[in-house]
Structure 1
Amino acid sequence: METKEYLTNYYERYDEDGRLISKHGMVEYLTTMKYVEKYLKPNMRVLEIGAATGRYSHTLAQKGYRVDAVELVEHNIEIFKQNAIEGEPVTITQGNATDLSAFESETYDITLLLGPMYHLFTREDKIKALSEAIRVTKKDGIIFASYCMGDANVLSHGFIRGEIYNIIEKCMLNTETFDTFSNPWDIFELYRKEDIDNLRNEFNVTQLHFVASDGYTNHMRETVDQMDDRMYELYLKYHLAICEKQDMIGYSHHTLDIFRKD
């Protein structure tokens, strides 16, 4: 099967909206929105590449920003359209993050690449996706790129859930360095911070933030989901206070690399 088929099969069974509205899933969403809103100004245009079911696109459109969205998987596009509110300034196009030829260069003030880097497995495709996101962004515009982190998954899926030997048998882990290896049928590509830095350094951009989007949350998701509102608000405050501390980054399942196009 091609990568698109693996993704289609996965997302047809996966409740992406449900993940983001759980208490533990909301940590990633609220953190990402906090940083996006830090750079938003009136009348800005936004492009979301790999928009999935549109949680971010619809939120920003409902705040009055003009949003164009690109999504590869038809199932997600159908839900995206169902989630639309009449009159909101948002469009959705089927497309691939590695080829945005339908979009003109230097068009968008904010470009969100919040999903595609999870599902690209060759350096060539990763560079293409970043290059295209940067190309369509205006000079001095801001790009937000999300990644899944390897060590957090080795800890949670490997050791905590007891899958470590299965991971090793599938040749997905170097047992000397504990680097991870993925293929399209594994669905998710996993990174360390140095991998992300290496990709970004190919481009004429300036890094602004590197954020642990969900921090330690997914290692304690049951605890977070059971928190009452008062404790949850305190936990969010704590998370937002430490989410840029570099000594905490590797424990996060998701990270957010934020940089400006020079």
Structure 2
Amino acid sequence: MKSNQYLIDFYKAYDEDNRLTSKHGSVEFLTTIRYVEKYLKPGNRILEIGAGTGRYSHALARRGYAVDAVELVEHNIEIFQKNTLPNEQITISQGNALNLSAFPDNQYDITLLLGPLYHLYTVEDKRQAIREAIRVTRQHGVIFAAYVISDGCLLDEGFNRKNINVAEYVRTGLLDAETFAAKSDPEDLFELVRKEDVDEIMSVFPVKRLHYAASDGCALLLREAIDAMDEETFHLYLNYHFSICERGDLAGITSHALDIFQK
């Protein structure tokens, strides 16, 4: 698929392994791990679909959990394997979130879908990835699905950092002229959504939503200020973020969101 080639080329050049290591980048990681730990129990089996270079998989394996990981991009798999420690109970295989036929039904207590939905451009493809994640998860298991949220990205990449030309995006139809809702194609690399899009995607599934959280909130918009914080101030900022990240009135002011639901 041509859309897969866009991804492969992008991740060959992108430092995904260090994306979550800065203070501002760690907000997303720490928030996600915090929610995962709410539902982890001793002996749980974990599957990460679209594991990237393994930041989450390795963190959980080093806590003593058995982790299986699937990743599309060979370059990411090579880094994943390089970062694997001898005592980790972990596997990595190449695969596509849309087809997990190598994995049987009802196998995992925790399933992470933290990257693939960034790069799927139709509702049906998104639903297929979620359908597969649900299938391989045990009854009452918990699935974590991450999205890139358009408004946080527009504020940060557009109006703040000016990495995108907002007026040009409006002219070319990538942003709606009235609502500023985003439209993406595979060559744009990232699919940008809003919570109402997530709600529509999930409307066909008989699952129970446990949490919907702004996983990094304003962290990217405030990256310079956050990176300059001393440890005490950063700790306060994290506590503040954790206290507001599920507030409905702030759900769109984030670059990434985490939808957590139970089978």
TM-score range, shorter chain: over 0.9
SS of the residue 1:180 aligns to: coil
How many Å separate the matches in 1 of 2:250 and 2:226?
Answer: 18
TM, length-normalised to structure 1 = 0.97
How many Å separate the matches in 2 of 1:153 and 1:253?
Answer: 5
Q: 1:183 aligns with which of 179, 182, 185?
A: 185
Residue 116 (structure 2) aligns with: 116
| Larger deviation, residues 16-25 vs 169-178 | 169-178
SS of the residue 1:21 aligns to: coil
SS of the residue 2:24 aligns to: helix
How many Å separate the matches in 1 of 2:252 and 2:17?
Answer: 25
- Answer yes or no: is 1:206 the counterpart of 2:208: yes
Runs of 4 or more consecutive aligned structure 1 residues displaced over 3 Å after TM superposition: none
- Answer yes or no: is 1:251 the counterpart of 2:253: yes
Letter paired with 2:221: H
How many Å separate the matches in 2 of 1:233 and 1:10?
Answer: 33
Gaps of 5+ in 1: none
Output one character per residue of 1:197-234: Cα deviation in whole Å (capped at 9) or x when no partner.
11111111000000010011111101101111111111
Residue 61 (structure 2) aligns with: 61
SS of the residue 1:250 aligns to: coil
Residue 38 (structure 2) aligns with: 38
Residue 98 (structure 1) aligns with: 98
How many Å separate the matches in 2 of 1:123 and 1:211?
Answer: 21
The structural deviation recorded for 1:111 is 0.2
The answer on whether the counterparts of 1:3 and 1:185 sit within 8 Å (CA) in structure 2 is yes
SS of the residue 2:248 aligns to: coil
Residue 155 (structure 1) aligns with: 155
SS of the residue 2:145 aligns to: strand
How many Å separate the matches in 2 of 1:219 and 1:87?
Answer: 38
Letter paired with 1:195: D
Residue 218 (structure 2) aligns with: 216
The answer on whether the counterparts of 1:151 and 1:250 sit within 8 Å (CA) in structure 2 is yes
- Answer yes or no: is 1:192 the counterpart of 2:194: yes
